[in-house]
Amino acid sequence: MASSHSHHHATVVARRAQELNGPQKFQKLLRAKKKGLFRNYSFQPCSKFDDPHHQYAGYVPLATYFRTMYTAIIDDKLKLKMEKQTMILDGKKLLECDHSFKFPKHIAKIEDASVFTTLFTVTNEYEEIVHQVLVPSKSLLYLKHSLEKMKEAYDLYGHEMPVAFFTDNVQSDKRFLEGIFDSLKVIEKPPQQATGSSESRSFLTLPSDIEMRYVNRDIGRIVETMKSLSDKLEVERNAGKPLVIGLDTEWNVDDDPQHDQVDLIQIAHGNTIDILHIDRSWNTLSEELVNLLVKSDITKVGRNVGGDFSRINKRFGIVCQMKLELGSFCSQRQLVSNGLMSLSDISLCILGAPIDKGPQRSVWNIADLAANLQMYAAIDAWASLAIYNVAVNHPLVGARVSPTCPVGSSAGIKPSRYRQPVAFGEIMANGRTAVVKITKIDVSGYLANGIALQAYGKPSFELSLPASHLVTVAPMSQVSRIPSANPAATNYPEIAAAISNPNTIPDSEIL
């Protein structure tokens, strides 16, 4: 280590000596060396770097020497790394800028006149410096070029553009900063006119071919209904099809302190919805219904279906098996932005219309359910199954691509230390090394095979990459929009499914 440090020290000293002496003085030094003018002089040699007794040949260097060496090391070795570290800092959505007049007073002057009068500094929300430049004055004209380069760095490293820029002169700086960062512009939407709920909102409705069967506290009919459903599931089982039903329960929300009441069990399968009204005097359920709930090869889908399982277990002691939570299932496929969304919100995103939850707090243990309550109960169970049938056709997003992934599948380039893909494309050939046709780039500074993505040109182009760097993504034709699946959605805009987040870029894998 000492040897390498000494070599670096000598290199910096030699380079700095050339700069300080200038070409004429340096020429005289070379001439003197060639002619041997100093041959008869004796000079005390410098001590070795690791000599503990005669460091610096017995002399203490002046402050000028240390300042010169410090400046040379910063300029020769660390400047580029410091600038790159500044550009790749995460957390740049909130920026703050200020001018400092103290620092320029301590730098060199030309004929007693300061070249720079102020230091312009920009920090992020973590008080980290993300931009700094010396300027002759506070005029915004001197900042335009450097801030435009800062914006280019945002694009290069996949950062989100700033949404707020704090400055001490908002009126003067507003138009200038918005001219560089479009993201700072606030787009005001015209207020919507207030209208009645029936005119402004269209809720989810059952398709005309769906059959709704209401069984009111009749054990015989429940047995018959469940046998009919079991026969249909057996046919699907023999055909090798996955067995899936939509499941939901209802109870009196305002009269259930122990969370153990079950007044209604709704089961959706195919084009049939069974609404089973449970009597509160029953201590158990029919064997046919219990078999349906406990079989592990029958998947029960719903929003918070685990809560329904727990409620049935508390009420009847039945341990239901094989649940599928719609929130996380849809979130993993980027069909919704948050897996904790309600069933109504998930329905809006995927089926195109929300569910009218007004009847949810109704009294469910009444003698006979009204038609509107039957319809609400049926829609809850059917919506869960309909959402699943749409979501199951979308690939799981974010899983590592296996060597057996079919050619033509959409994929994202996401090395293990990245939080988000840096580029997207289509698998052209697969194996341990995959060939990907790049169609979209998010981080153009990422080094793929030692070359920045921006150096490959504009998409599309092909890259050979380890399959371990690829993850599954939604097909590009499906990422931007999710189609409406219900005619009741005419009053609602389609929901964008792809969510873009900023990356934390590892220093070793960027330009």
Which has the higher per-residue pLDDT, 5 or 15? 15
Query: Do residues 242 and 365 both lie within one domain?
Result: yes
Q: Is the domain of 337 the same as that of 471?
A: no
Average confidence (pLDDT) over 206-233: 95
Question: How many structural domains are present in the chain?
Answer: 4
Domain span at residue 133 reads 91-184
Q: How confident is the model at residue 85 (pLDDT cuts 50, 70, 90)?
A: confident
Q: Choose one of 14, 43, 72: the last residue of a domain.
A: 72
Of 313, 293, 281, 185, the residue nearest 233 (C-alpha): 293
Predicted confidence (pLDDT) at residue 211 exceeds the cutoff of 70: yes
Domain boundary among 44, 72, 100: 72
In a domain, 444, yes or no: yes
Could you tell me the pLDDT band of residue 503, with boundaries at 50, 70 and 90? very low
Higher pLDDT, 486 or 175: 175
Same domain, 415 and 282: no
Residue 198 lies in a domain: no
Asked if the model's pLDDT at residue 56 lies above 70, the reply is no
Q: Is residue 81 part of a domain?
A: no
Residue 465 lies in a domain: yes
- Beta-bridged to residue 275, according to DSSP, are 214, 266
245 neighbors 298 (Cβ within 8 angstroms): yes
Model confidence band, residue 155 (pLDDT cutoffs 50, 70, 90): confident
Within this chain, do residues 220 and 310 fall inside the same structural domain, yes or no? yes
Q: Is residue 80 part of a domain?
A: no
Q: Summarize the confidence of residues 310-322 as an average pLDDT.
A: 95
Same domain (yes/no): 14, 63: yes
For position 197, what pLDDT does the model report?
A: 40
Q: Is residue 108 part of a domain?
A: yes
Tell me: do 261 and 385 sit in the same domain. yes
Q: CA–CA separation, 176 vs 40, rounded Å? A: 67
- Rounded to 10°, the helix 79-88/144-157 angle is 70
Question: Does residue 44 carry a pLDDT above 80?
Answer: no
Q: How far apart are CA 409 and CA 427, in angstroms?
A: 6
Res. 2 pLDDT band, cuts 50 70 90: very low
Q: Where are the beta strands (DSSP E) in 446-503?
A: 447-448, 451-452, 461-466, 470-472
Same domain, 250 and 370: yes
Average of per-residue pLDDT values in the chain: 82
Q: Same domain for 51 and 106? A: no
> pLDDT for 469-489, tens place per residue?
898 887 765 544 444 344 333
Higher pLDDT, 108 or 435: 435
Q: Which of 341, 356, 391 is the last residue of a domain?
A: 391
Higher pLDDT, 18 or 465: 465
Half-sphere exposure of 278 (CA within 13 A, CB side): 21
Question: Domain of 160: which CATH number?
Answer: 3.30.420.10
Is position 500 within any domain? yes
Same-domain status, 245 and 358:
yes
Q: Are residues 414 and 469 in the same domain?
A: yes
Q: What is the pLDDT of residue 15?
A: 60
Domain match, 283 and 370 both: yes
Q: Classify residue 430: in a domain, yes or no.
A: yes
Residues 319 and 377 in one domain: yes
Neighbours of 499 (CB within 10 A): 11
Exposure string for 233-262, b = 16+ CB within 10 A, e = fewer? beeeeeeeeebbbbbbbbbeeeeeeeeebb
Residue 7: per-residue pLDDT: 54
